[in-house]
A and B are shown apart, each in its own frame.
Chain A
Amino acid sequence: MEWYIVLSILVVSLSFFLFLGLPVAFSLGFLSIICALVFWPGTTGLYGVALAGYGHMGNYTLVCVPLFILMAQLVMHSRMGTDSYEVADRFLRRLPGGLGMTSAVFGAIFGAVCGASTAGTATVGLLSLPEMIKREYQAGMSGAIVAFSGALSILIPPSVILILYGTLANESIGALFAGGIIPGILMTVLALAYIFIRVLIDPDVAPRDDVRFTWKEKFASLSKVWSLLTVIFILLFTIYTGVATPTEASAIACLAVFIIAFVKKTLDVKTTRKALLHTVKTTAMIGWIIIGATSFGYVIIYSGCAAELTDFVVSLPLPTTAVVMILMLGFLIMGMFLDPAAIVMMTTPIILPILTALEIDTLWFGILMAVNMCAGNISPPMGLNLYIVKGLVPDKIKLAELFKAAVPFIILDIVTIGLIMIFPEIVTWLPSLIV
């Protein structure tokens, strides 16, 4: 059977299972199991396909996922989160969509200490979603802002995606990290602009009120954020002075939150228990999605569909810019269905010879790819971040709303891709100063 027929069948089946209401993790798993029986002789495929995710689960860099979630849970329950939102509120309440803007900025700052979009989204979401919902922000919009802000973690260094790409493409990781900074800031600014304009046009999205705070009140509130600032400082300090790796820093920051909460007496056993249960729930959910996605990735790669699709895309007789645009389109489509790390792992080795042949700068292309993966993380039907957002507040947000609200943010990602294609200096300028 032709590869595109196989691929279509897989995509349609997956969409159908999801539509039926089968959980994402098990839709991926169930489809992979069927494929294991079809593609492999007898039952020989079942073992490898079912257990494909085990290796990922034992990956040390994922250890930071429950720790960042727990940290965010504790920040939320120990009033550190609400305190800092109160401050943001005092400064930004009069701005259209102020809390949404705060989430985007916080997402960018948190991205500077977090390497994976899952932990980023969970943290930003835990801190900001309850507040935005409390202030009657439109649920879909709030969720989309969080999903977008969480995705900034894979563009702003440190980034697991960039490390994977740099290793495979033989590109300097230091240069890649530097290259991600300006595009990350650019995307944050674009998001702020979009929220601002959107709320001006459609005020119901984010209700404003006319309560005015004096400058005295604004600055007095600053005393409330010292605890959160301390945590962020500890995170940045331990990482950038070499005391600990980013994974280890997640544990230290988490411990710092525990200690601060203990000193301030804002955490009791009951709340801790609640935070722990929530951490386990989110970690198990993310874990099973990784298991399902790995199995599905296994099947797609084994079937040869992934390689054929890439071959097809790169073999078209077109100018370089058009090829890059087509690659970006291909990544966007793949991003709708697959895990970003899986996409990078599977396509980089195949695309690299083409980049070399067409003399495309691999640093520039790597950042384009990372921006694209940000879009993939928030694109339906398989945008991981959207499901994490949904998982954080299952009763408050409907997926249909979330999918709809995510579209403008995907367009922001595409605009960023366009800007980087027209002005490569956005990526290359900062690394050129360092190397």
Chain B
Amino acid sequence: MMNKNKGLTRIMDGIASFDEKLAEIAGWIVVLMMLTISYDVVMRYAFNSPTTWSFEVNRYMLIMVVFIGAAWTLPAGGHVTVDIATERIPERKRIVLDIITSFMAGTYVLIFLIQSVVFTYDALEHNVRSTEYLAWPLWPIRAFLVVGAALLFLEYILRIVRNFSQLSQTHEEK
């Protein structure tokens, strides 16, 4: 039991630190957004030669921030919940409830993941490109939905596993 938990803890720590690294990268993307937009304004206002890419690239960067930051946001407690009921009930029941809600959220994220795969594969198969000036292939951008949803799904699986393990521990203690 203990060994299994240790292994599990190590895996979970590994994933958590990986997700945090991704979130940090997402943070630097926000800095990049700040710099590119400012550059575009300066080029337009001072040099009368605005970029043709800033507008489009910044929208893609926003998508990247939301999706590669999504997984870490869960363990970091960023996804807001209504805690009217959950903050009043005993721990064991709260764990059970957390397993139930994690299953619900996990189901949603899984369906989102599957649809994102379809969405991305479609762009790859038909060589769908952006309709704007850059006309970049869209599949790498849509792939961020897949990566983000997959990591978030993984976080929910881990959360369920951890809850079950806690549940069995509290059971043993009794």
Contacts and interface: CB of A to CB of B under 8 A. Distances in A.
A23 B80 contact: yes
B11 interface: no
A24 to B, nearest CB: 5
Interface residues of A, number: 62
Given A30-B104, A243-B45, A248-B41, A70 B87 contact: no
Interface in A236-285: 238, 243-244, 247-248, 250-252, 254-255, 258, 273, 275-277, 279-285
A66 B62 contact: yes
Interface string B110-130: 011001101100000000000
A284 B66 contact: yes
B30 A17 contact: no
Contacts of A258: 34
Interface string B53-69: 00100111111011101
A207 interface: no
Contact of B80 (A275, A276, A391): A391
A66 B28 CA distance: 11
A20 B100 contact: yes
B30 A70 contact: yes
Contacts of A54: 63, 119, 145
B62 A280 contact: no
B99 to A, nearest CB: 11
Nearest to A251: B37
A283 B30 contact: yes
Contacts of A23: 79-81, 101, 105
Interface in A20-74: 20-26, 29-30, 33, 46-47, 50-51, 54, 57-60, 62-63, 65-67, 70
A280 B108 contact: no
Nearest to B130: A58
Contacts of A3: none
Contacts of B101: 17, 20-23
B34 A50 contact: no
A107 B60 CA distance: 30
Interface stretch (B1-9, B19-27, B162-170): B19-27
Counting contact residues on chain B (CB < 8 A from A), the size range is 35 or more
Nearest to B122: A47
Contacts of A59: 59
Main secondary structure of the interface of B (DSSP, over half): helix
A400 interface: yes
B132 to A, nearest CB: 10
Contacts of B115: 46-47, 50-51
A248 B40 contact: yes
B85 A20 contact: yes
A398 interface: yes
B66 A244 contact: no
B28 A276 contact: yes
A276 B87 CA distance: 29
Contacts of A431: none
Contacts of A285: 73, 78-80
B159 to A, nearest CB: 12
B27 A276 contact: yes
Given A58-B62, A62-B62, A381-B82, A284 B40 contact: no
A29 B66 CA distance: 16
Highest count of chain B CB atoms <10 Å: which of A22, A62, A399: A22
A281 B68 CA distance: 10
Contacts of B81: 18, 21-24
A288 B107 CA distance: 15
A281 B33 contact: no
A90 interface: no
A179 to B, nearest CB: 29
A277 B24 contact: yes
Given A47-B118, A51-B119, A276-B24, A60 B105 contact: no
A424 interface: no
A351 B73 CA distance: 39
B80 A280 contact: no
B79 A251 contact: no
B172 interface: no
B90 interface: no
B160 interface: no
A372 to B, nearest CB: 23
A298 B116 CA distance: 18
A252 B38 contact: yes
Nearest to B42: A252
Given A23-B81, A26-B104, A287-B66, A251 B41 contact: yes
A399 B83 contact: yes
A93 interface: no
A77 interface: no
Interface string A412-429: 000000000000000000
B109 A282 contact: no
Contact of B105 (A22, A254, A283): A22
9 contacts: A18-B81, A19-B82, A21-B85, A46-B111, A54-B145, A63-B58, A238-B41, A255-B34, A276-B27
